[in-house]
A and B are shown apart, each in its own frame.
Chain A
Amino acid sequence: MSVLLVCAMILAAACGSAGSGTTGGSGASTGNGQAGGGGEETGPTGEPFKVGVLLPYSGVYAALGESMTNAMELYFESIGWQAGGRPIELIKEDTEANPEVGLRRVRKLVEQDEVDILTGVVSSGVLMSIRDYVDEAGVFLISSNAGAVPIATDRKSPYIWLVSYTNAQPPSALGAWWYENVAQEVFLTAPDYQAGYDSTGAFRETFEAAGGRVVGELFPPLGTTDYAPYLTQIREANPASIYAFFAGSDARNFILAYEQYGLKGQIPLAAAGFMFDETTLAAVGEAAVGHYHSMHWAYTLDNPVNRQFVPAYEERFGVKPDLYAVQAYDAAQLIAHILNELDGDISDDEAVRQVILNAQLDSPRGKLRFDPERHAVRQTFYILRVEKVGDDVTNVVVDSVEDWMWPPTE
């Protein structure tokens, strides 16, 4: 009887390898007939260039996975789904924003699908879990969101490049500006996990260096639904200003409670980016008006690339693009750029690195270039304030900090 069972197992294993041999995750997308047709020449290789996309397509961050994929497809469509003489193919895998799952999926992409390059990764947890594997396997990873600080410092890899940001960049950019323009005292609050500590820590560094004083800090558990106890606590301390870092449902709950407990309009609130992105603004509406944050992109940013990107995205997908989409768009741009510069041949790792280091990307955020020390992009951070413009609640640029990198390189 156990023989029967074993046969069943082997059969299933065989089916398994065959099944996942086709396409993984949420399916691959290639140029729909545009790849081959119309292209005058196919280069010396002409073999499909496989891009492994690691994004969360389920779970709390699924919306990000979707917008980021949209943006990549938008870019690749605009160049006819080919670069460097090779047709481009996306193979998507769902990380579920879970480190183990992410590791399993990256193994599949590298070992089974034999992708040429990797991109994506939303959560720092996944980035940290796959770092060793990617480094060992020698496959380049262009991170279009996750920016865990160790990946830019002591756990750098010659194969991992952050086209998004480092977790320390947005808050640190705001720190000195906040001291000079809004308040000399601040109360820090963020969820009780690594990213929360990183964010408040980075803000504190530049804020204190400018002369500011931190009067208190509070770290509610991640996933808190009810911020009432914390806000009443903070209100009690009566600080001159508050810096907060929350994302996703936490951000929404915090912002609404901030208004409900009478802090809105009384105590200025600063945040780093994601707390006031388009998605959260849609969920909280006017409760966010008057709050400040720093982000490396704003919907209303006025530069040629953004002026073209935003309507193109909206027309194609029917919703507003968000910061994550922009980053993914840039990742796609970088990948195409690498292919073009090297005529589709990325077998020489050093050559790829040189291309990345010399790249000057024209992003909807402005100009980007890579910091050789940090393996992350130096970029402009915009100081934004949420305002009501007509019927719309959106981010308005108030100031900017150029060519910013944190942790700084000397």
Chain B
Amino acid sequence: MTASRAAAGVATVAILALLPLVLGRYTISVLTEVYIFAVAALSLNLLLGYTGLVSMGHAAFFGGGAYVAAKIAREVTPLFWVVVPAALAAAGLLAAVIGYLALRTRGVTFLMLTLAFAQMLYALTFRWKDVTGGSDGYSGVPRPAGLGFTVDTTAFYWLALLVLVLVYLFMYRLVRSPFGYSLIGIRENEDRLRALGLPVTRYKLAAFVLSGVLAGLAGALFAYYNGFVSPHEVHWMLSADLLVMIVIGGVRSLIGPVLGSFVLVWLESVVSSYTDRWQTVMGVLFIVFVLAARGGLVGIASAVAQRWRQRAGMPTTAAGD
């Protein structure tokens, strides 16, 4: 990371951290949700953008983590340091099992399998009323405890922001590590890497589990934040939403999913105030991006920056973070 980039990053985080002092409570709670979904979108992008795996079942890990976190927080202890690791473990286990089975296939079949498993989990969540509360959902989840401070709206905002920053930094290091480069290689040409002796499936599984764990982290935060979890969190439509975030934000970057989360939540909360047709707006926007702006918002910003630099006679750099 260049010094200027690092500085810009720090400045960005600082600005975001100071927002509760200027913006109203409602906006802060919306932004908190943006951060939580950004973590989930980032986790899916590890699979999609970096490993080239199209999974439609990510909601299983998000929702799975959320339910485990919710149940433990309400029935055992709301201690953050117990609840979150438990949720991560559960999500990781789920990802290991599903990944092991699904990664025996590729392409569309893989997509279908991930969808199938996620929907099975959805069906289970729906039916198992005694444990999950069924279609009415599971409520009464307390605020996180054991953090040394009471977690009110502003504190939760900072917590979510902190988690997002940590996950972002983690991913940043990861995609630049040998492991990360291998994943990119798998995305580009899986067969060649296999021929070179790389245990491709094992790497894919590792990526799958890792991304599942991170999604579970987002899920745990979600459960704490809303105090409530429902089968919607495990439904494939949520996986679809994450896909939309990634594509609109920019699939070959890390900041993309974050931006995408922002756009989607903004669409849902703000645009819906102006028109009932906000889903059409989202669909059209999505299609426009798929057709014309495949790099997402990040791609557009990059292209604009490139042109600006060219015009200014400055050396152009490669796009992306």
Contacts and interface: CB of A to CB of B under 8 A. Distances in A.
A/B contact in complex, CB under 8 angstroms: yes
Interface of A: 1-6, 9-10, 12-17, 19-20, 22-26, 57-58, 94, 98-101, 103-104, 107-108, 111-112, 124-125, 128-129, 131-133, 148, 155, 192-195, 197, 222
Nearest to A219: B127
16 contacts: A3-B12, A13-B27, A16-B270, A17-B23, A22-B273, A25-B273, A94-B272, A100-B226, A103-B226, A104-B33, A104-B268, A128-B133, A128-B137, A129-B137, A194-B133, A197-B129
Interface string B121-148: 0000011010001111101100000000
B19 A13 contact: yes
B24 interface: yes
**Interface residue tally of chain B, by bracket?**
35 or more
A181 to B, nearest CB: 32
A194 B129 contact: yes
Contacts of B230: 99-100, 125, 129
A182 B31 CA distance: 58
A202 B273 CA distance: 40
Contacts of B226: 100, 103, 129
B127 A98 contact: no
Contacts of B255: 2, 5
Contacts, number: 130
Contacts of B149: none
Contacts of A14: 23
A6 B12 contact: yes
A101 B127 CA distance: 22
A104 B273 CA distance: 13
A99 B8 contact: no
Interface in B14-38: 15-16, 19, 23-27, 29-31, 33
Contacts of A94: 272, 276
Interface in B220-275: 226-228, 230, 232-233, 255, 259, 262, 266, 268-270, 272-274
B166 interface: no
A58 B272 CA distance: 11
Interface of B: 5, 8-9, 11-12, 15-16, 19, 23-27, 29-31, 33, 126-127, 129, 133-137, 139-140, 226-228, 230, 232-233, 255, 259, 262, 266, 268-270, 272-274, 276, 297-298, 301-302, 305, 321
Nearest to B11: A3
A125 B262 contact: no
Contacts of B30: 16, 104
A166 to B, nearest CB: 14
A155 B133 CA distance: 14
A16 B276 contact: no
B26 A108 contact: yes
Among B135, B136, B302, B321, the most chain A Cβ lie within 10 Å of the Cβ of B136
A194 B134 contact: yes
Among B30, B255, B301, the most chain A Cβ lie within 10 Å of the Cβ of B30
Contacts of B274: 19
Nearest to A17: B27
A20 B24 CA distance: 12
Nearest to A14: B23
Nearest to B24: A17
B273 A132 contact: no
B26 A125 contact: no
B227 A107 contact: no
B270 A15 contact: yes
Contacts of A148: 136
A12 B264 CA distance: 12
Q: Report, nearest first, the 10 A-B pairs whose CB atoms are least far apart.
A: A112-B26, A111-B26, A17-B27, A193-B135, A6-B12, A129-B228, A111-B25, A194-B136, A99-B230, A16-B270
Nearest to A130: B228
A132 B137 contact: no
A58 B25 CA distance: 26
A11 B103 CA distance: 42
Contacts of A125: 135-137, 230
A22 B273 CA distance: 9
A12 B129 contact: no
B262 A99 contact: no
Nearest to B279: A58
B127 A16 contact: no
A204 B104 CA distance: 49
Nearest to B23: A17
Given A99-B137, A132-B140, 11 more contacts: A2-B8, A3-B11, A3-B12, A4-B301, A4-B305, A5-B255, A6-B12, A14-B23, A15-B270, A20-B269, A100-B230
Given A1-B305, A13-B31, A108-B26, A6 B16 contact: yes
B273 A19 contact: yes
Contacts of B266: 12, 16
Given A12-B266, A16-B269, A20-B270, A133 B227 contact: yes
A20 B273 contact: yes
Contact of A112 (B24, B33, B233): B24
Contact of A132 (B19, B126, B135, B228): B228
B8 A124 contact: no
A15 B134 CA distance: 38
B8 A3 contact: yes
A105 B273 CA distance: 11
Contacts of A222: 126, 135
A16 B232 CA distance: 25
A194 B227 CA distance: 20
A185 B259 CA distance: 60
Nearest to B249: A5
Contacts of A99: 137, 228, 230, 232
A88 B39 CA distance: 42
Among B15, B24, B135, the most chain A Cβ lie within 10 Å of the Cβ of B135
Nearest to A114: B26
A302 to B, nearest CB: 37
